[in-house]
Amino acid sequence: MTQTAWGWLVIIYLFLGGLGAGALLTAALLEVSGWRYKRDYCPTALTGAVISGPIVGLGSLLLILDLGAGKTEPWRIVYLFTNFGSVMTWGIWILTLFIPVALFYGLLELIEVEPFIKGIVWARFPRLLRNVPLYRRRTAIASGILAVGVAVYTGVLISAVGPAVPLWSQPVLPFLPIPMMPLLFLISAISTGMALTFDLVATIAIPEIQQQMRIMDLAHIVLIGVENVLIGLLLLSALNAGGAAAESARMIMYGPLSILFWVGVVLVGLIYPFVVHAYAIGAGRHSLWSGIGSGAGILIAGLFLRYLIVFAGIPAQL
Amino acid sequence: MHKQFSRREFLRAALGSGTAAVLGSVGLSAGRFALAAPDRTESASSPYALIIDTTKCVGCGACRTACNLRNELPEDTSYIHILSYGEGTDRSFLPVQCQHCAKPPCASVCPTRATYRREDGVVMINEKLCVGCKYCEVACPYQARTFDEDRGVADKCWLCLDWVQDGRDPACVAACVLGARLFGRQDDPTSEVAQLIASGRAKPLHPEFGTHPSVLHYIL
């Protein structure tokens, strides 16, 4: 018996939410460190800032489409903001605050590169142009903090159901009462965000990047390594817990979902990118296509990982 | 213009913000307990008790049929689902429905507060507030929640409260011909249900879930 209440719309939202948050975090880190001003990092910072708001916005739209009566009587959506004991209410608040700030961050990046936009801003809000770098830096920090919230709260949301779905409430380590899902979702969000903004966009924009950016390779290896360990810990912990958790883990590792897991998540999203980036550190460079390939692989794996977690969320045995 | 970091400083900043993010995620997870809505109901128990005697249940489904008819539910949905264990002469049945918990996870996860617990312990849904997010359906460890596709709202056993307040039994209890279901007032010490609960023969199901079922009890 698999989990049947939540389907593809929720899964895609979880993916887009994490992706958008991670993309913005990548850009914000580059902004705060000043590395954004280096030519090779410009496209990454620009992409992360600009694309994040729309991606998370699109994901949120999918969430609304997944509602029942909230779709046909949309004014009910206001009620979603009221129960602070519910992680879903936290999420609504975080998203509502994040999306406008992220869009504003994107605007502050676009001002620098798009004269058309700069022109509009100059006509309507000339004060904004006085110190764009300062405003952008502050907006990056604010949206960065909110982005952590966006990336993490979905993990908290599914782990909050506790005994109802044992797979989702597994701890990070047996003796540590910290749930695994928030941490896994955060790492995955940053990983997919970097894959999009750097591996895909920046590489296509500046192909020579792949010849130089060793620190990005290092960051990828660390993230992939940590994510690998976390997924392994999750499955081991679930197997050990017995009952529905073990059933979930078996379903993922050697049941009907196993091909999706071993090929779609492990091979394409963990092993292949890891090899690409490790080789790059050793050899000093890697090809354009392997960079793009690893980026695409990480994104695909991010989506499938969330699919597996949601669908294999088997309810507790009674 | 601000100064640009060296590689070492960048790594330090990344590690620092990474740690902050991880700590933040831990804090957010823990904060859930701090922000949980206080239990507004005074009593952890309920005046009502519905006892299911699984030693008598043969899984005929009469309770389920009566419930479906009364609530005009489609064939593939029911507030009651009947689980079976064992084989042959060892076969036993476990009818499960909303336990009307004292600490209902469905109520605490509901973002609109559509699901709530009454003073008499009965957990109800205010359908006008429900947006159909299905978080309650996922969060119930007894899988007692259903979803009304036509109206797009959550749904579940409501203890036939109109009949109960009239002094009658819920439909599922009235329908059971084998006497596997008992209904009564646990606040009346002379009632059969009160005595079964007090003696320890009738107990909450899966108390380790921590939801404190207040109405439903089982003789296993």
Of B29, B128, B132, the CB nearest to A182: B29
- Whether pLDDT at B1 is above 50: no
Q: Is the pLDDT at B3 greater than 60, yes or no?
A: no
Distance, CA of B22 to chain centre? 32
Give the predicted TM-score (pTM) of the model.
Answer: 0.91
Beta strands in chain A (DSSP E): 171-173, 176-179
Q: Which CATH superfamily is A8-311 part of? A: Formate dehydrogenase/DMSO reductase domain (1.20.1630.10)
Mutation to test the B interface, candidates A86, A137, A152, A216, most B Cβ within 10 Å: A86
Q: Give A53-88 pLDDT, tens digit per residue.
A: 999 999 999 999 999 998 889 999 999 999 999 999
User: At residue B166, does pLDDT exceed 50?
Assistant: yes
pLDDT in tens, B71-83: 999 999 999 999 9
Q: Which residue has the higher pLDDT, A231 or B16?
A: A231
**Are B22 and A186 an interchain contact pair (Cβ–Cβ within 8 Å)?**
yes
Q: DSSP labels for A115-177? A: HHHHHHHHHH-GGGGGGHHHHHHHHHHHHHHHHHHHHHHHHHHHHTTGGGSGGGG-EEETTEE
Contact B17 A162 (CB under 8 A): no
Residue B36 binned pLDDT confidence (cut-offs 50, 70, 90): low
> Which DSSP state fits B56?
T
Residue A3 has pLDDT above 90, yes or no: no
Q: Which of A76, A165, A183 to mutate to test the interface with B (most CBs of B within 10 A)?
A: A76
Pairwise CB contact (< 8 Å): A76 & B112: yes
Taking an 8 Å cut-off on Cβ atoms, the answer to whether A160 and B4 are in contact is no
**Which region among A9-18, A30-39, A141-150, B48-57 has the lowest average model confidence (pLDDT)?**
A30-39
What chain B residue is nearest to A314 in terms of C-alpha separation? Answer: B138
Q: Which residue has the higher pLDDT, A211 or B57?
A: B57
Judged by CB atoms closer than 8 Å, whether chains meet at B142 and A318 is answered as yes
Confidence of residue A204 (pLDDT cuts 50, 70, 90): confident
Query: Residue B124: left if φ>0, alpha if ψ -120 to 50, beta else—which one?
Result: beta
| Mean pLDDT taken over chain B | 89
Please answer yes or no on whether A3 and B9 come within 8 Å at the CB atom: no
- The residue-averaged pLDDT of A272-301 equals 87
Provide the residue type at B71 as one letter.
Answer: N
Residue A4 and residue B146: Cα distance in Å, rounded? 11
Q: How far is B190 from chain A (nearest CA, A)?
A: 31
Residue-wise DSSP of A65-88: HT-SHHHHSGGGGGGGGS-TTSHH
Please tell me the distance from the alpha carbon of residue B112 to that of residue B57, in angstroms, as a whole number: 37
What residue spans define the domains of chain A? 8-311
Scanning every residue of chain B, which has its alpha carbon at the shortest distance from the alpha carbon of A84? B35
Sort B166 into a burial class: Cβ within 10 Å, 0-12 / 13-18 / 19+. Answer: exposed
Both structure tokens of A99:
């999306």
